[in-house]
Amino acid sequence: MQMDFDVVIVGLGPTGGTLANLLAINNLSILILEKEASLYDLPRAVHFDDEVMRVFQTIGISDSLSKKLIINKGTKFLDENGKLLLDWPRPKIITENGWYPSYRFHQPDLERSLRYKLKKFDKVVSLQNCEVFKTVNKKNFTEVHYKNTKINKINSVKSKYIIGCDGANSFIRNEMKTELENLGFEQRWAVIDLILKTKNVNLPDRTIQYCNAKRPATYCRNVGRRRRWEIALKDNESSITFFDEKRLWKFLSKWVSPNEVEIERKTVYTFQSAIAKSWREGRMFLVGDAAHLTPPFMGQGMCAGIRDASNLAWKISICCKKGHSENLLNSYQSERSSNVRDYINTAMKMGELLNSIGGSKVSDTVFVQPDGTIKMNTIKPQLGKGLGECEDINRGKIFPSFKSDFGRDIDNIFACDPILITNKKINKKELRIKSYDCSDIPGMEVILKKFKTNTLIIRPDRFILASTQKNDLLKFTNTCLNEIYSL
């Protein structure tokens, strides 16, 4: 059957933009349908991490983006009297992903970079003012119907897959008839974005979580002169009452005055925790907020969506090029959902601490320092069960970003398909996989030693699929690749 596109992406927020770029690198033909006329020019997400920055590196926007970021120093949780309850530092050390652990950014800068990058791909068509209102999900194809609201015209296209990156109120999720599982957190928060009028305002250079049963609040040190306060609203408290000029400035007066800052915007969000029961129905998928919602206390909502995109992009690309594989596509939700659930659960516990109803044990990585302060290490949840043998101790570990002795960044040799690296002599023609031995990439020996193995297969999303100490690499690769390509 003649397809108009390989993939239709619904929604061009940060996850849709990332996914589209990753699929475009894999040379797929893509139609992006976005209902708004232009990008949303105000910030929502303000933080992302090293793993996400590595995805941006793959897309080729990390260098330009770096100029607009600041390195995030961490978060402190204080009680009503200003006593430190929990410290979550983000040390300025390059991680295994080749970047700093945590960054502050301005969401419109990111979305602009993603959109700009998409323009260089001939096989990407990106349409704005186009709202999807109907889908068809058949065994061998999908169909999407949309309305161009600017010219009031209806159109439809056929594609191999439809991916819903259409946010919290996802239309695609409704079409898939999948329910959201409510994980239990729901609270209305006022979000106030401010711009400093002068440089000399004395404000913390870290995120501060003000834990308070009556009025929990968060202060964010954002990029440039941008600062944010997020403040929990009381039950039945209306935004009109809360945003009353006098009351608002009274609240903010603990930190700033109208002489020092201007309010860029003030709005109310309902922070929720929920996860879609099914992320895939046949040829339709959910990515990002369409698949899961988290309170933003860890700054991980968008990050989780970018991780979804990175996980799904190479799997969809293989299916478009080599044929639809149920096994491969089913591994998307099974690998991603437990990972995102761990982040949501930890964010909910942070929410309890902020509301002063939980203890400081927000995760298993919390420990008491010799000086009595309580510290938390960053959590790095594993991929759920999906591809690869779970008994393999290296399965699902991140393959480190690494510069070979030739000065080549190993990330640049990753293509769309998995690769094999080994310290053994190999017959590259015999193996069905792109392979490198240690003479191709000097310095690789050290990495293999770190994983206590002779051979690794690495997925395009930089996770390790499998490792072996055995010599029969033909059998090893065949087993791994059959799992991926099994139809």
Question: Which residues contact ligand FAD by CB under 6 A?
Answer: 10-16, 33-36, 44-48, 131-132, 165-167, 171, 191, 269, 288-289, 296, 299-303, 305
Q: How far is the CB of 294 from ligand FAD (least distance, A)?
A: 7
Identify any residues that bridge with 53 across adjacent strands, giving them in sequence order. Answer: none
Given the complex with ligand FAD, which of 48 and 210 has the nearer CB atom?
Answer: 48
Given the complex with ligand FAD, which of 74 and 305 has the nearer CB atom?
Answer: 305
Residue 345 neighbours by CB under 8 Å, 6+ apart: 183
Q: How far is the CB of 424 from ligand FAD (least distance, A)?
A: 41
Sequence letter at residue 384: G
Q: How far is the CB of 388 from ligand FAD (least distance, A)?
A: 27
Asked if residue 164 lies in contact with residue 287, where contact means CB atoms within 8 angstroms, the answer is yes
Asked if residue 252 lies in contact with residue 269, where contact means CB atoms within 8 angstroms, the answer is no
Sequence letter at residue 120: K
Report residue 309 CA to chain centroid gap: 7
Q: How far is the CB of 230 from ligand FAD (least distance, A)?
A: 6
Asked if residue 194 lies in contact with residue 253, where contact means CB atoms within 8 angstroms, the answer is no
Q: How far is the CB of 208 from ligand FAD (least distance, A)?
A: 15
Given the complex with ligand FAD, which of 190 and 387 has the nearer CB atom?
Answer: 190
Q: How far is the CB of 288 from ligand FAD (least distance, A)?
A: 2
Residue 434: strand, helix, or coil: strand
| Percent of the chain as helix, strand, coil, to the nearest 5 | 30, 30, 45
Given the complex with ligand FAD, which of 35 and 283 has the nearer CB atom?
Answer: 35
Instruction: Supply the angle between the helices 301-322 and 326-354 in degrees, to the nearest 10.
Output: 180
Residue 153: strand, helix, or coil: strand
Q: How far is the CB of 450 from ligand FAD (least distance, A)?
A: 29
Q: How far is the CB of 487 from ligand FAD (least distance, A)?
A: 30
Given the complex with ligand FAD, which of 149 and 330 has the nearer CB atom?
Answer: 149
Q: How far is the CB of 49 from ligand FAD (least distance, A)?
A: 8
Given the complex with ligand FAD, which of 6 and 166 has the nearer CB atom?
Answer: 166
Given the complex with ligand FAD, which of 275 and 464 has the nearer CB atom?
Answer: 275
24 closest CA partner among 12, 36, 41: 12
Q: How far is the CB of 34 from ligand FAD (least distance, A)?
A: 5
Residue 235 DSSP class: T
Residue 438: strand, helix, or coil: coil
**What Rg do the C-alpha atoms of the chain give, in angstroms?**
23
Region at 62 (left for phi over 0; alpha for psi -120 to 50; beta for the rest): alpha
Between CA 183 and CA 487, with CA 388 as vertex, the angle to 5 degrees is: 95
Given the complex with ligand FAD, which of 286 and 447 has the nearer CB atom?
Answer: 286
How far apart are the C-alpha atoms of 122 and 11, rounded to whole Å? 19
Given the complex with ligand FAD, which of 36 and 79 has the nearer CB atom?
Answer: 36
Strand duo 84-89 + 74-78: pairing = antiparallel
Given the complex with ligand FAD, which of 132 and 313 has the nearer CB atom?
Answer: 132
Asked if residue 275 lies in contact with residue 341, where contact means CB atoms within 8 angstroms, the answer is yes
How far apart are the C-alpha atoms of 348 and 337, rounded to whole Å? 16
Instruction: Supply the angle between the helices 14-25 and 301-322 in degrees, to the nearest 10.
Output: 30
Q: How far is the CB of 67 from ligand FAD (least distance, A)?
A: 19
219 closest CA partner among 231, 202, 201: 231
How far apart are the C-alpha atoms of 354 and 431, rounded to whole Å? 54
Given the complex with ligand FAD, which of 57 and 455 has the nearer CB atom?
Answer: 57
HSE (side-chain half, CA atoms, 13 Å) at 162: 31
Q: How far is the CB of 269 from ligand FAD (least distance, A)?
A: 4
Sequence letter at residue 138: K
Given the complex with ligand FAD, which of 45 and 448 has the nearer CB atom?
Answer: 45
